[in-house]
Amino acid sequence: MDIDDAKLDDAIAHYREHGWARLGKLADEQTVARLRERADAIMLGEVSYPGLFFQHDSESGRYEDLEYGKGWKGPSLKYRKVEKLELDPLFWEWITSDVFRRIASRVYPNVDVTLYRAFLMNKHAGGGSNLPWHQDGGEFWGLDRDPTLQVWTALDDAPLDGGCVEVAPGTHKAGLATPLGGVVPNEKLEEIGAEALAQPIPAVAGEVLLIHNHVWHRSARSQAGHARRALSVCYMDGTTACRRRKRAPRTFVRVFAAGEGAC
Q: Which residues contact 96 (CB under 8 A, 6 or more apart)?
A: 255, 256
Rounded Cα–Cα distance for residues 172 and 216 (Å): 7
Phi, psi of 70 (to 5 degrees): -90, -30
Asked if 91 and 231 touch (Cβ cutoff 8 Å), the reply is yes
pLDDT digits (tens, 9 = 90+) for 206-259: 999 999 999 999 999 998 789 999 999 999 999 999 998 777 788 999 999 997
In whole angstroms, give the CA distance from residue 253 to residue 23: 25
The whole-angstrom separation of Cα 88 and Cα 113 is 19
What amino acid occupies position 38? R
Q: Would 183 be classed as within a structural domain?
A: yes
Q: What is the pLDDT of residue 89?
A: 98
Question: What is the pTM (predicted TM-score) of this model?
Answer: 0.94
pLDDT in tens, 85-120: 999 999 999 999 999 999 999 999 999 999 999 999
Domain assignment of residue 23, yes or no? yes
261 belongs to a structural domain: no
263 within a domain of the structure (yes/no): no
- CATH of residue 213's domain is 2.60.120.620
In one-letter notation, the amino acid at residue 64 is E
Three-state DSSP string of 122-185: EECCCCCCCEEEEECCCHHHCECCCCCEEEEEECCCECCCCCCEEEECCHHHHCCCCCCCEECC
Q: Say how many domains are in the chain.
A: 1
Report the chain's C-alpha Rg in angstroms: 17
Q: What digits encode the pLDDT tens for the residues 170-196?
A: 999 999 999 999 999 999 999 999 999
Candidates 251, 250, 231, 209; CA nearest to 119 is: 231
| Domain annotation covers residue 190 | yes
Range of the domain at 147: 5-256
Band the pLDDT of 59: cuts 50, 70, 90: confident
Q: Which ranges constitute the DSSP H helices of 44-125? A: 89-95, 98-107
Establish if 103 belongs to a structural domain.
yes
Provide the β-strand partners of residue 234.
117, 150
Could you tell me if residue 194 is inside a domain?
yes
Question: Per residue in 238-262, is it b (16+ CB within 10 Å) or e — as a string?
Answer: bebebeeeeeeeeebeebbeeeebe
163 in any annotated domain: yes
User: Average pLDDT of 31-59?
Assistant: 96
